[in-house]
Every structure is written in C-alpha cells, then in structure tokens.
Structure 1
C-alpha cells in the first residue's frame, strides 16, 4: 500500500453509474449506456487515470523529499519538470495536475503548512490579513484573525500562529494567554509559550553580520575557548547570537563559565539573540535538587539567568525561592531583560552554526535602500546567504516589493538565499508576493 493510499479513501464516492460502467468495461461486458454518455464515460476514465497517476507521482516525490532534502523550506522548493503524462492531462483539461509542480513537502508538511485540503479556502483570508498587517493596520488584522478562529481556524493552524505572532509583537500577553488556552483545547496539544518579539519602535535598529556561537552537546569547562572567541568578536559588534539547541548535558563548571560570559555580553547596551534558551533551562533544571546544599550554586544561578533572559518572571520567582531554601541565601532579584531576542524554536539552533548570519532589524518600513545595499555587500562575500529574521516583527508592503527585486537579482546570479526564523505574519506576506521563487523560507515553529 502506498503512503498516500489513505487519500483515496477520503475522495467522494464515485458515481454509481460510472462505477458500474467501469466495472463492465474491465470485465469485457458491452456497456448498456446510450451513445449520448460516451463523452462522459471518457471524461471519467481520464480523471481516474489522472488521479491514480497523481498519487503515484506524489508518493515518488515524497520519497525524493524525505531522502534528499532533510530540512525543506516552506514554499521554496524548486519546481520539477512536468512529465509527458502531466502535459497530456493538462492539455485534456484535467484539473488534478498543477499541484504536482510543488514539492510534496510543500503540500503535506504537518508542522509547516495548513491542512492541504483546506489551503485553497483559507489562502484568501491569510493573504488579506498579511497585507493589512504589512500596511500597519494592526487592529483590523487582529480582528480578522480572531474572527477566523471559529471558521477556517478549526482546520488551519496558520490563523492561530499568525495571531500568536501579532500578540507577541505588540506585547499583549493577556490576549496571547487567552488564545493559547483555546488553541490547546481545539488541537489537544500544549500551547506555545509566551516569547515576545522585539517591539519595532524600541529595539536597536542594528542590521548586519552578527557573531554567532553554537554550543553542545556538553556544556563543561571545555567551552572556555569558544566563549573567549565570542567575547572578542562581540566587542566590535552591537549584537551577538548564542545557540543552545544542541546542548544535552551540563556541568557546574560549564554553567559557571557561561554565566560569567552572559553577564559580559549583556553589558554595554549590546543586543543578545538567544536560540534554545528554554531547552537549555530544562537541561540545567534536571541537574539541580532542592536542599542539596553541598552542590555548586552555578547551575541554579545560570537557570535564574536564563529565566530572566526569557522574561519568565513567575518561573524566576519560584526558582529563586527554591534557591533561597537550598542555600539560605538571598537570590538575585528579577530584572526585565533589555535588548534580548529569544528564538522560541530550537530546531533552527540545531542546524550547523553559521557565524555569517545577517541580522535583520525589527522593522523594515519605507525606503530601505541602505539596508538592501548592506545585504548586497554581504552577498558578495558569502554563500549561502543566511538572513536572520528572528527579531523581524514587520516589513512594509512596499519595502517587501522592493526587496524582492533585489533578492531575485541575487538568485539569478547563483546565490542561495535562506530566510530563517520568520514570524508567520511576515512569512504569509512573503509567500503571497512570491519570495519562494528567490529564497527558501523557514518560518519559526510553534
């Protein structure tokens, strides 16, 4: 049985007369239908052949995607050449073939796309909301998203993800928490955690190549050279990126060294981008126990620092109380983090570390020629181009159109372009405008 055999069961029941006719034809029995039905029977046979061939082609394409493309981007796979059967089917007017121009992962990736069956109905709503948001009509975009939850949102999670990103970009935590409860109830899964995007009007507008260091799998004293190198690079840059998605274990010595480095990196008004902080916090938490006073304080203090970086005040206070009980010492006080951006999904942090990421600003609005010129300069030195969108809250529609012209020129020159950690509102706009023709899109995941 093919991996897509279950799709055949979802099709509407065939017409009884057509089914009977097909059965008689297969058995060699002359058809009793009138000559006036010959054209209809021929059309049914063509659709049946097209549908069967489509399923076989999708199964083959699925196998190609699975074994040859370990991390497919949403909406950015190259289009495959049409087969002769496809060309003949399209010439005959069959309407089942155009979807085969897309990679199978674009059609069926559960975590990356809405349900394939519902995509045509939801696309217009998502596109309209994406344009409204790009044009800074935030209240109207919010209202349309909320109204869509009871409709298309029952089958298309994109609507929920876009609303989560809108609330995180505007700092509306109470509204986010209310929707998260409904999301968990509707889909019977854990809701996303609060991880606010930088506020476009408040964060540093730095954009450029950002020093990056990826740690793992063991965080111990051996990370000292990594930290020293990172501190040297960070001294000349207003932003630094740390990736912890590959860390699976920690030692007290490693915790102490990382804690000291974080204190230095947060000083001087620098911006800090942290990927996989939540996963690292859970790894550190697994190594501590309340009441074990002989154990090192370093894991406790690193855990408190990570909770503070993620702005999780409630968890911080509870952990601080446990620390106080264990060591009979006053814990550090909570301070809301400044100039810190968290990448909620650690999957991107598990990718090979790149020290040549180009960090995009929180807002791209109006004329952005200087930014695009800087990206062109970056493209002249690096291949592939990794454009970090983890703190990009919004891009204006006109700016997005102008940037697409630049990206198409770079792609035509042979540059491989990746847009990483894109929020779902921006990703919807990029797909609508055809960014997938020039770049690979990697929206962050919930």
Structure 2
C-alpha cells in the first residue's frame, strides 16, 4: 500500500457505486453530492465552441510569447526575409521581384506583397492587408483622419494582427496626439497582454494633424543629409575620447547621431566623458539623435541606488541627460528627485530637446563609415534635390559593376551598404516614394546592399505596396 493511500478520504459507499455505474458520456453526468464539479458540461454546441475559442486563444498566446522571444534574439530582422506564402499565391510568384508601380497603373497583388514577399506572418494577416494598403495610401496623401478611420475599423476585426495597431501608434505620434496614443495603448496592452509602446513626441514642430491633413510646413524644411555618427560599443570607459572627437569637431551639420545599442557596461569615467560631449553639443545648438538611448539607460540604472554615492554623480547625470534627449519629462523628474536625495544638491532642470535648424559657417565633415543619410520629416512633391543629395552621399551608382561584368573585367571591390536613416521621416507621398525606390534601385545594382532603417510602419507599408522587394531592405522601428 502506498504512503498516500493512508491519506485518502474514503467515499460514501453509495457515492462509489454511483461513480462505477456512470455512463460512458461523462460530459452529461450530473454533479455528485460531496464532489466538486471539475469540468463544464459540453451538452451544447455553443459551449463546445466556447471551449474551442479558449484553446485557440491559449495557442495564440503561446505563439505571441515565442514571437517576442524570437524578436529579442533577432533584433535586426528585416521585412524582406522569405516567409510562408499564402495558399492563394502560386509558388512562382513568391520569389518574383516586384517593380515600382508606374503612375496610373494598378497596384500589385495584395497577398504577394504581404505574404510571399516577406512580411512576417505575425505582422499582417491577408484579411487585413487591403485595409492596411488603403490606410497607407490615405496617409501618404495627407488624409490622416481618413487613414485613422480605416485603421480603427481593422482593430475590431482582427485578433492577432499587430501591424494596424503599430501604424495607428505612428499616426498619433506624427500628429502629436498623445491622448489618443495613450488611449489605444491601454487597449493594446489588454489585447496582446504585453507592455504597450511609450509615446515619443514627434521630431519636428508643426507636424500635428489638423482637419485631416498634416501641418507639414516645419517638417518639410527640416534637416536632411549626412549626420556625423559616433557608434559606441563594448565598455563605456575613458577610451571613448577618440570616438567622440570627430562629432565634437566644428561642422555645418545640424544633427549628430549617437548609437548606444552595443554598449555592454559603463564606468564613471566613461559616463563623465560622454556626458560632457552630449552637453557640449546640445549647448552649441546641435540636435542629438540618441539611437539606443533606452538600452544605455538600462545599463546605467543598476549602477545607481538612492543614498549611495559610490558611483559618483556622472552616471546619474548621464541618465538624466538621456531622459532629456528622449523627452521623457516624467521619468526625468522622478530620477532628478532621487539624485537630489542621494547627493543633497539641487537637480538639473528639464529642458525640451532641441530640434534641428540649418547651420551655416563651418564646412561639413566628409562622410565616414557609419554615418547615415537622414531623411527629412516629410517628403512630398518634387523630391529631385533630395534624391540628388542621396546620390552625392552614395557615390556613383553601381552601374560600373554591370559594365565590368559585360566587358569580362574584374569586378570592383564591394561597396559598403547604403543606409538611409528614416527615424525622422513621418510621411512620404505616393509619387515621392516611387521616385525614391527607383533611385535606390540604381545603387542596388551589382549587389550593393541598400537599407532603410527605423522606418515608421505607415511609410513601410507604403514602400512595401510600391514593391521595395529584396533590393531595398526595410527595417521598421520596433514597438
């Protein structure tokens, strides 16, 4: 007799007899006296369907968790990787390149764009693809209200499709509509059982949506061009001075970009050097783009504890500087109070981060490896000047590779990827997007990689619709 047999409660004999005599279909049996009901009756088809729905929701939740884990591992996964094609798309069409749509021509097949061409299955479902395309085109044409209505109509009809939500988040951020953003963020957290995105004010002034259009006078005249970049990685220590020297040099560039995403650890000395560089540039009227600032803040926070001064003031002040650059006023004020309590000094005051204005006087720095060409806030109408500037930054298009191949000459050495920074790009109209893709394809000749980084999801959906394909790789920003 097993050990736990002594602990079993004996049943009433009549109850035992009834249990042995129950019919094979236990789903319809009545509850026995003294025993809890451990399953719900499945007598009705409605109840069976309810149980199936619970099972489907559980499976979807598991899929979402696996997707989140995969995204964390493969952070730079572009939208152009091959994925499962929908059943309605022939296998031959799955690998076919999609060309730019000529003016007035019909658009490409929806399923080919959003399934076979590489959109991750978790990002868009075929059922919502037409509405996503419609919203992207409306927004590109400046009809923000109509695009919002189209996207909101999708939300109620999809259960696991996150792309319409991400597009709506981007629309509200571009229009500086914080209340609307926070409202759907609550619904997003409830629907997907995950932390909602954080509102980030738009990069430009005058980008607010008004009467269904974007007030883009300020955004259209915003900075575009090569941004000197300091890419910091590994250990943030006293050795970063050489990497900071170039971006601290006088230049006509209005924007300086920092990349913090590869920093693994920090020392007080490194924090002091970086803090001094950020404050020097900010006081000189330069706009700073702190890519990976949230990551660096996560590296700094374990170094800090209220009431402990061992790390010194530099890590605290660097964290405050990062929160200022991210325009996170509430977090800034809370951290400033902790700093005040720890060091018994007055904390710094919050100042809204500067937005770019054209600079004159100093000569521009020659582009270096790692520098990115930043697109302006809004691109519409005649974009010839912008495209010519991209050509100048990229160098001679790689047509020379095709000429060398035709002449049976040695191919030129591979050129570095052409990377365009779209972190400030709020909107690009339909015709300008087609012209941009056509120009970028010239540079993609000969196998040169062309990448659009930090694209918002509205712009990315439009470029996918216009057939960015495998030649121009899209990296949408993450929520």
- Per the normalisation by structure 1, the TM-score is 0.72
What SS is found at the alignment partner of 1:260?
A: helix
Tell whether 2:312 aligns with 1:324. no
Q: Does 1:164 align with 2:197?
A: no
Residue 391 (structure 1) aligns with = 424
Contact preservation (8 Å) 1:76, 1:436: no
1:309 and 2:314 are equivalent in the alignment: no
CA distance in 2, matches of 1:113, 1:164: 19
Give the Å deviation of 1:405.
Answer: 2.4
Aligned residues: 349
Give 1 or 2 for the bigger CA radius of gyration: 2
Q: Distance in 2 between matches of 1:94 and 1:300?
A: 56
Residue correspondence of structure 1 range 15-414 to structure 2 within 5 A: 71-75=76-80, 97-98=91-92, 100-101=94-95, 113-115=120-122, 119-152=125-158, 154-199=159-204, 200=207, 201=216, 202=218, 205-232=222-249, 235-293=251-309, 295-339=311-355, 354-380=369-395, 383-412=416-445, 414=447
TM-score between both structures, scaled by the size of structure 2 = 0.67
Aligned equivalents of 2:283 and 2:469: distance in 1? Answer: 39
What's the offset of the Cα at 1:437?
Answer: 4.9
| Structure 1 Cα separation of the partners of residues 88 and 189 of structure 2 | 40
For structure 2, the 5+ residue unaligned runs are 1-73, 98-113, 208-215, 357-367, 397-414
Separation in 2, partners of 1:102, 1:115: 22
Q: Deviations over 1:181-236 (max 9, x none)?
A: 1111111111112223323544562222221111122111111111122212x634
Offset at residue 287 of structure 1 (A) = 0.3
- Mapped to 2, the partners of 1:123 and 1:73 lie a distance apart of 19
Runs of 4+ in structure 1 deviating by more than 4 angstroms, as ranges, are: 69-72, 93-96, 106-110
Separation (CA, whole Å) in 2 of partners of 1:71 and 1:304: 28
In structure 1, the gaps of 5 or more residues are: 1-68, 80-92, 341-352
User: How far off is 1:267 after superposition?
Assistant: 2.8
Q: CA RMSD in A?
A: 3.1
CA distance in 2, matches of 1:95, 1:434: 16
Deviations 1:395-425 (A, max 9, x none): 0111112222222333346542111111000
The whole-number CA distance in structure 2 between the counterparts of 1:364 and 1:407 is 15
Q: Please say if residues 75 and 436 of structure 1, whose CA atoms lie closer than 8 Å, have aligned partners that are also in contact.
A: yes
Q: Is 1:441 aligned to residue 458 of structure 2? A: no
The residue number in structure 1 matching 2:69 is none
> Structure 2: how far apart are the matches of 1:409 and 1:255?
43
- Cα drift, residue 73 of structure 1: 2.3
Deviation at 1:357, TM superposition (A): 1.6
**C-alpha distance in 1 between matches for 2:77 and 2:307:** 46
The alpha-carbon distance between structure 1 residues 216 and 115, as it changes in their structure 2 partners (threshold 3 A), is closer
CA distance in 2, matches of 1:254, 1:316: 21
